[in-house]
Amino acid sequence: MLDPTIYIVDDDEAVRDSLALLLNFRGWRCRAFASAEACLAAWQPDWRGCLLLDLRMGGMDGLGLQHALVTRGSRLPIVFLTGHGDIAHARAALKSGAVDFLEKPYAEEALIDAVREALARDARQSAAEAHTQEIVARMARLSERERQVMELAVAGKPNRDIAAELDISPRTVEVFKARMMEKMQARSLPDLVRLCLEAQTGARD
């Protein structure tokens, strides 16, 4: 996993260079691309941080890049920069999940705030993602029987019903259940239900 980085995409060399310089001095790592295509070619799923996109560029524009990245599974927050604040574009960008939409020339405060918020959102997302992955990893360690017992227990069935359904003795169910709870690091049945839900919602997002 990489350190959080601000990925700048702008076809104007001076704008790109000055943005990187300024954000460097504010203590952030930056990486700049001269075109949307270059950024898309370099993109890796483990990128962390946020994107600063110019809306209007030669070739693929900012909205196009946003769309392409989302379809590839990127969840990087995006801040758009534009030379002309046109409402239709701003709406489209924000609807597809952009964090902010800054009109050039922007105040430094506005830029810094937007970047900060984008990075914070990314940090929250990464933390949530790590948590989900941890639960999924625990589930992966369960044996076939343990997984079956877990599903039925989470569905609210008492041990006797689980035994009848799996055609094993209630005693054996208890043994599988104890081992499963230990592997899932769940202290109680409600705790187990919460973990399963978190894994589901995390995977769905």
Partner 1 sequence: MSSTSAISWKVLLAYALGGLVLDAASNPQTVLPLALAPWTPPLGLSLAILLLYGARYAPWLVIVVFITGLPLYGLPKDPLVVLWASVLLMLGQLVLSTWLKHGQRIDVRLSSQRDLFWFLVAAVLAAWLDAGVHVFSRSPEAAPDVWAWLADLVNYWVGALIRLLIVTPLILVHARPSRTSLAAWWPNRETLLEGLSIVLALGVIFGLKVTDEFKFFYLLFLPLIWICMRHGIQGATLALAFTHVGLNAILQWRGMPSVTVVEFHMLLLSLAVTGLFLGMTVTARRAAEEKLHQRETELNQAMRLAAAGEMTQAIAHELNQPLSALANYARAARSMLAHPGEHERLLGDTLDKIDRESTRAGQVVRRLREFFRGGGLRLESVSAAELVEEGLAPARRRAERSGILIHISPMEYLPRLRADRVQVGTVLHNLLVNAIEALEGRPAGASTEREIHIDVARVDAAHLRFRVRDNGPGIAPDMQERLFDSFVTSKPDGMGLGLAISRTLVEAHGGTLWLESPYPTQLCFTLPVNPEV
Cα separation, 198 vs 134, in Å, equals 11
**Please, are residues 30 and 6 in contact by the beta-carbon 8 Å criterion?**
yes
Exposure on the CB side of residue 71, measured as CA atoms within 13 A: 6
Q: 170: cis peptide before it, omega within 30°?
A: no
Cα separation, 59 vs 106, in Å, equals 24
- To the nearest whole angstrom, how small is the minimum distance from the Cβ of residue 21 to partner 1? 4
Question: Which residue number, 10 or 146, has a Cβ lying nearer to partner 1?
Answer: 10
Cα separation, 42 vs 31, in Å, equals 11
- To the nearest whole angstrom, how small is the minimum distance from the Cβ of residue 86 to partner 1? 9
- To the nearest whole angstrom, how small is the minimum distance from the Cβ of residue 118 to partner 1? 17
Question: Which residue number, 103 or 198, has a Cβ lying nearer to partner 1?
Answer: 103
Where does this chain bind partner 1 (CB under 8 A)? 12, 14-15, 17-19, 21-22, 24-26, 56, 81, 83-84, 104-106, 108
| Helix, coil or strand: residue 8 | strand
- To the nearest whole angstrom, how small is the minimum distance from the Cβ of residue 113 to partner 1? 14
- To the nearest whole angstrom, how small is the minimum distance from the Cβ of residue 88 to partner 1? 13
Question: Which residue number, 84 or 171, has a Cβ lying nearer to partner 1?
Answer: 84
In 3D, which of 74, 50, 72, 52 has the Cα closest to residue 62? 52
97: left (phi over 0), alpha (psi -120 to 50) or beta: left
Question: Which residue number, 105 or 190, has a Cβ lying nearer to partner 1?
Answer: 105
Question: Which residue number, 3 or 108, has a Cβ lying nearer to partner 1?
Answer: 108
- To the nearest whole angstrom, how small is the minimum distance from the Cβ of residue 30 to partner 1? 12
In 3D, which of 136, 126, 130 has the Cα closest to residue 197? 136
**Please, are residues 163 and 173 in contact by the beta-carbon 8 Å criterion?**
yes
Question: Which residue number, 92 or 175, has a Cβ lying nearer to partner 1?
Answer: 92
